[in-house]
Amino acid sequence: MKKLLTLLLVLPLMVNAQPEQPVEEWTGKTILVIGGHPDDDHQSHGTLAMLKDHGNDIYILTMTTGNVGTKDPKISRNQLSIIRRQEQLDAMKEIGLSAEHYINLGYDDGRLEFADREEVVGKLVYYIRKFKPDVLFSFDPGYNYVVWQKSDHRAAGYLAADAVRAAEWRLLYEGQIIHDGLTAHAIPEFMFYGGNVSDKNTTVNINDYVENRVAAGMKYVSQWSSGWKDYKGPDLDKYPPDDREAIENRVRRRIFVKDGISYERFRYHKGPPDTMGHGPRD
């Protein structure tokens, strides 16, 4: 019985083949990560650290400033926006990425869903055409069915998907091509995170980069330490003695480990953007 269930869950893996070239061997690729908030990219930090180390060029684009999510009554939206930016840059440093590789669209946290979609998609299209990524990392908009996600993640998922589709047509957002010197670009490969576990078809061995991921994760002090309720700056030494261990545990616990090896799991897709969300259809 258990075997059958396993088989059922494994089914999608057979439909969506793993990348021909294992992710662990990728090099020379340009990679764009699109997320909703500073820290959304964290669930790929092991993979990104490895890819950076292997000579790939990585950009992280965050749509909102993350300027809302705190329970500390003293902090204003702009203060939080500044804190989250610094945490993001500090975390990126741990996986080998400098500030030049970070783009933030500046939307208010929690309000991305209300922004004008044609404009937001246009901004994403701009960066896709500018960086011309070989691979996009983003929230999984869902396989065969739409995955339910919190407001900004939902928006991040479908806006990224829509932007990928739009970016490949020179007749859409053509002002960018004529006036900003860009050209249309079709992203050929995708690594989706954050979707249902049953939809994952690719695991990446991040064993050698676990410590980078952990060090990066521990930078999100305002989110995952007691700084969530009482922010005292980026230095964990200024927090209650247990905080450092607590955040480290929290960060480590989120890593998927099997047979002693640490992995990050993705739904990998190769092919035209139009087919990113489903299996073969009539």
66 binds a copy of itself (CB under 8 A): no
Please state the closest distance from residue 105 (CB atom) to a copy of itself, in A.
7
CB nearer to a copy of itself: pick between 102 and 236: 102
Residue 173 corresponds to which tokens in the numbers above? 């957002």
φ, ψ of residue 188 to 5 degrees: the values are: -90, -25
CB count, 10 Å around CB of 223? 21
Task: Tell me how far CA of residue 15 lies from CA of 24, 139, 144, 168, 268, in angstroms.
Answer: 21, 20, 12, 25, 11
Stretch touching a copy of itself by CB under 8 A, among 15-23, 24-32, 161-169, 210-218: 161-169
Count the residues of the shown chain that bind a copy of itself, applying the rule CB under 8 A. Answer: 77
Please state the closest distance from residue 56 (CB atom) to a copy of itself, in A.
21
- Residue numbers 188-217 binding a copy of itself by CB under 8 A: 193-197
161 binds a copy of itself (CB under 8 A): yes
| Nearest of 36, 54, 38, 35 to residue 96 by alpha carbon | 54
227 binds a copy of itself (CB under 8 A): no
The CA radius of gyration of the chain, in Å to the nearest whole number, is 19
Q: What CA–CA distance (Å, rounded) separates 88 from 82? A: 10
Q: Residues 27-46, buried b or exposed e (16+ Cβ, 10 A)?
A: eebebbbbbbbbbbbbbbbb
29 binds a copy of itself (CB under 8 A): no
CB 30 within 8 A of CB 2: no
- Residue numbers 85-124 binding a copy of itself by CB under 8 A: 85, 104-108, 110-111, 113-119
CB nearer to a copy of itself: pick between 77 and 232: 77
172 binds a copy of itself (CB under 8 A): yes
Please state the closest distance from residue 55 (CB atom) to a copy of itself, in A.
26
Please state the closest distance from residue 54 (CB atom) to a copy of itself, in A.
22
CB nearer to a copy of itself: pick between 81 and 236: 81
Please state the closest distance from residue 196 (CB atom) to a copy of itself, in A.
5
For residue 232, the SS3 value is coil
Among 24, 30, 54, 69, binds a copy of itself (CB under 8 A): 69
CB 33 within 8 A of CB 138: yes
10 binds a copy of itself (CB under 8 A): no
CB nearer to a copy of itself: pick between 19 and 157: 157
Site string for a copy of itself, 122-151 (x = CB under 8 A): -------------------xxxxxxxxxxx
CB 156 within 8 A of CB 139: yes
Q: Residues 58-72, buried b or exposed e (16+ Cβ, 10 A)?
A: bbbbbbbbbbbbbeb
- Residue numbers 244-263 binding a copy of itself by CB under 8 A: 254, 256
